[in-house]
Structure 1
């Protein structure tokens, strides 16, 4: 059983959910059968029994035309429920359209829609309903439009918030990387993952709509004679409530009971784990992005690179101005080459990979003197062409294999989406190819596994399946963002071995991001060491312990324990902490933590220079002694 179905079934099994469900079922059955069974009797006019109180012949009395109040309340169930559900459906549809519009429309149009929603949410719903009721006129149709439009802004805000929470997940980024368009991304990946909380809130909203509709009919703005709903019956009976309260209390009780049934059932489902995030509005100050600084252009003698990056900068607006967490990154990756990127958390590794994959969106600003993938400039190419290029030639393997897949789609269908979108294969042929790709990445029983959901895979299998998704096309480059995090040593080795096999068989280049410099040294040809948004050393990975010259690289290597590490001694750490992106000091960012720093280091940031062939370093005082590692310390640092 799927998760959404099991959630609603579990809600129905709780005492509150069961009672609410039974009440809703009874109301629906009554709405269907009451007009058929008692419609004629509810319309019979008896001039001999005008405005009578409860009796054996009329259990709740009669109205001013002698019609039976009980039968009229029962028959009014259909119209009351139908109008409330119609108004709710209108509000939900309009709310979905307005809430998802910013994800589909151009940026300016999307911001305009968001502003309209924010203004509308500021007004009370009942006030909006009355305002629209006056505009659309008296009657059931006008009341439906009024209540639906009044509900739409709040539902749009909820949709925007939930969509934003899902849009940041890795599986959405993966779908964008393979070139899935905005509308398909919305329909296939975002809406299915927010459908459950939206359904819960729509259920609760139906109860609110029922109450609002009864209020408009009570005021004479809703249903008009000869039709009647509970609100109209309440208005007719209220005039003589001191003499005969039953004609007024009966429709009032019907509204309360039905409204509670909707609300309680929605609350029962929400209490079982459906999380609705509170609405929020984020505003950014209009700022000008910083101009990229000059940087030396790196030339490579090994031919045309798969990926060429020169002076890449990523900036974000903030209250005090622009913050640049990636500052002048330059490197190249050639066909069949494996390049590792290491550094502490916050050094800019993942953000660099996201910028290269065109996954960094406004208000962030990405600039570069050169950013080319297979010879195509990524910053100057249209979105349609980029989707086709990146979707077939670039594969992303994210850190968390669980969040890398859409939880409401089977693994095989997610892999097949790439072939359907870019290779024009039919649904069946694409699924067959997906099974074949799962077989290539050593997933056992791929035919059966392709029909399973991500939660039915182990962590290592999900990671291998993610690599298989990248192989659905013909990738020239695989960007693996810490693919072995949270995996045990055996599974780590399997994933790294699979990447090595893909590289050897297809001449696919690999950009491997990791915290573990030892893993990178065993897997890659070159190592890029990042600190505070810059590459401080680019060195061969054959023997980093001997080749490393930057004090920061030496410190990272010294902090890696091995079988020869003295277990009685504390682990080596690097004193201090990396600077925050908006608090990078002048000069070398590593100077406050470096034992070799002097006034020159604190006053000027060194540019990368060639130390030896294939080895570049940005340091005023590179370590010369091959055996001298940074002094190990056990206080005031991070491991």
Structure 2
């Protein structure tokens, strides 16, 4: 498939022309010094400053040397220095562009600021500035042009990598305990390689022109060495008498520069929008080699105390900088999850559900801040201690299933290799054994033909299969907790049921705790034992799932239930809605955050925030007027909002 794609790109007039030009330039650079070096350096005082003739096609210079042969021999130095300068610029740009990911936010921010300042200046001006710093000569010009290229390439790299860093498969790799450098090399750079390669190819042509310019100005290659820029400078003095002596080096620079730039366009067509495809006839060849038996699961670093929770959260807060100070989308939530228990977190978008999961998974970085009175997983604190130990703990015993199965896997790597990476990192398994365990885990999550599927790319999986494979990645270790962050939102109803049933079966079979996050309160009520209802960054109610439909006490919980249609819903009237808009975390109200949307609210609700109290065993509620009675149904256009009539209104 790759050969066919490249063949089509090279068969176009542009591709054929660019390839012919570039091959010609490179062959000339390799062979010219060997074939014509003697003729280029031969001095003939009887032929000084001669014009073009059959004996000297482009004339001679001030020492009678043949300019045409000097032009041919200069190809190696001109092209070689341009390619070296490009390599220096690309490597330096990669280091600068990825610095925020490798060095952390604070140091990375300084590097990014320096790059942004450098990008504001024209490239030639930067080259001249660095040439003055590094001195006159080929070495100084090489470093000057390389460092002048670096800022633009760093900006491009940083932009591309930042976009990939926000995808779920990168977060999954970090959850698995993969180090920053390996995440960058294995998961980020391969996904941005295409524009970087195209840009580097085009940059080589620009570097060739820049080198010729510095040599022309006397800052580049010095005598007795010579490149096209130096030949152009020498021929410029007699341009009115013998113009070919100056025009020939200029034409050489233009032709070679066009060769690189046009080939960059061919590269863009050859590798642009690349999608790895496995042909049906070759799938078995791409599948992992058979293994005699699945490898054992990696050892779990720690086990939950017999009478202790798997996950304990007390006064968890997450904040980010805002225009008027720090904004706290999660404000002091507390809960526990015990082994084998299923706990659901529900609420509208923006209530802080996913941020809670990310905070537990240690996926919130600067400028975000996470604080808690207690944040423990398997009895180990997650806010302190050695980073390596936390990575190993989470990588082997914590599984996170993301909302979008399409973004959950690296599109450039095969499914089996992505799963095997977890076992290699934390279980000490070799490549073959880790791949065998990946096949076994795919089989465990009911992926059909797991051995063949392990050799396929993510785009060859359906959405439901990708989600099951994501769950299989979490099972590569021996997880004590699975956090599923809206795992069925992007799936159809049938596949949703399959994924939820799979999570329930895994929980029952291995006594794994489950933390299910969703905006669908009915789904959570069917799967979980306990339900936490979040609003404006706080838990406003906790109750058993069995009491959800009849025993919800908080007006917000009852409003969520009333807004869910069922088979008995009258389709002739508008669907129920919750009036108003969710609270803005940047400007939370002084009292109860739900008060502006609640018809039970009074002056006390607007000034005093109700605490979350456990007035009934196994239940907590934060409302001044918590009422176990059924909620009235709110419908669009009706005057009776949720809760109306429950206080005699």
CA distance in 2, matches of 1:206, 1:635: 69
What SS class does the counterpart of residue 449 from structure 1 fall into?
A: helix
Contact 2:105 2:367 survives alignment (8 Å): no
Aligned to 1:501: 505
CA distance in 1, matches of 2:133, 2:589: 60
Match of 1:318 among 322, 328, 333: 322
Contact 1:532 1:581 survives alignment (8 Å): yes
Per-residue deviation, 1:92: 1.1
Aligned to 1:295: none
Which structure 2 residues correspond to residues 100-179 of structure 1 after superposition, within 5 A? 100-105=98-103, 107-179=105-177
182-191 or 60-69: bigger deviation: 60-69
Aligned to 1:550: 554
Q: TM-score, normalised by structure 1?
A: 0.91
Change in 2 beyond 3 A, CA 1:11/1:528: farther
Contact 2:315 2:334 survives alignment (8 Å): yes
Contact 1:551 1:630 survives alignment (8 Å): no
Per-residue deviation, 1:116: 3.5
Per-residue deviation, 1:304: 1.0
What SS class does the counterpart of residue 566 from structure 1 fall into?
A: coil
Aligned to 2:232: 234
CA distance in 2, matches of 1:145, 1:69: 28
Match of 1:186 among 184, 187, 192: 184
Match of 2:251 among 253, 260, 265: 253
Per-residue deviation, 1:134: 2.6
440-449 or 576-585: bigger deviation: 576-585
CA distance in 2, matches of 1:634, 1:470: 47
What SS class does the counterpart of residue 402 from structure 1 fall into?
A: helix
Per-residue deviation, 1:463: 0.4
Match of 1:421 among 425, 444, 454: 425
CA distance in 2, matches of 1:535, 1:6: 57
Report Cα offsets for 1:122-158 as digits up to 9, x if no partner. 4433233223223333221221112112222222232
Report Cα offsets for 1:17-41 as digits up to 9, x if no partner. 5433332222222222333333333
Match of 1:443 among 444, 447, 469: 447
CA distance in 1, matches of 2:322, 2:268: 35
Change in 2 beyond 3 A, CA 1:17/1:558: farther
Contact 1:573 1:635 survives alignment (8 Å): no
Contact 1:574 1:633 survives alignment (8 Å): no
Which structure 2 residues correspond to residues 58-457 of structure 1 after superposition, within 5 A? 58-105=56-103, 107-267=105-265, 269=267, 303-457=307-461
What SS class does the counterpart of residue 486 from structure 1 fall into?
A: coil
Report Cα offsets for 1:455-495 as digits up to 9, x if no partner. 11111111000000000001110011111112111111111
Structure 2: segments with no counterpart, 5+ residues: 274-304, 640-649
394-403 or 252-261: bigger deviation: 252-261
Aligned to 1:562: 566
Change in 2 beyond 3 A, CA 1:411/1:9: farther
> Quick check: 1:600 aligned with 2:604?
yes
CA distance in 2, matches of 1:182, 1:612: 46
Per-residue deviation, 1:585: 1.4
CA distance in 1, matches of 2:391, 2:438: 20
What SS class does the counterpart of residue 542 from structure 1 fall into?
A: helix
Contact 1:554 1:630 survives alignment (8 Å): no
Per-residue deviation, 1:63: 2.0
RMSD over aligned Cα atoms:
2.3
> Quick check: 1:534 aligned with 2:534?
no
Per-residue deviation, 1:272: 8.8
Aligned to 1:298: none
Contact 2:551 2:628 survives alignment (8 Å): no
Per-residue deviation, 1:577: 1.2
What is the total number of aligned residue pairs between the two structures? 608
What SS class does the counterpart of residue 490 from structure 2 fall into?
A: coil
Contact 1:302 1:334 survives alignment (8 Å): no
Report Cα offsets for 1:313-341 as digits up to 9, x if no partner. 11111121111111111111111111111
> Quick check: 1:609 aligned with 2:613?
yes
Match of 2:45 among 36, 47, 50: 47
CA distance in 2, matches of 1:388, 1:413: 19
> Quick check: 1:462 aligned with 2:460?
no
What SS class does the counterpart of residue 546 from structure 2 fall into?
A: coil
416-425 or 585-594: bigger deviation: 585-594
CA distance in 1, matches of 2:107, 2:550: 56
Aligned to 2:284: none
Report Cα offsets for 1:29-54 as digits up to 9, x if no partner. 22223333333333333333322222
Change in 2 beyond 3 A, CA 1:67/1:302: closer
CA distance in 2, matches of 1:572, 1:319: 36
Structure 1: segments with no counterpart, 5+ residues: 276-300
Change in 2 beyond 3 A, CA 1:215/1:11: same
CA distance in 1, matches of 2:638, 2:417: 51
252-261 or 100-109: bigger deviation: 100-109
Q: TM-score, normalised by structure 2?
A: 0.89
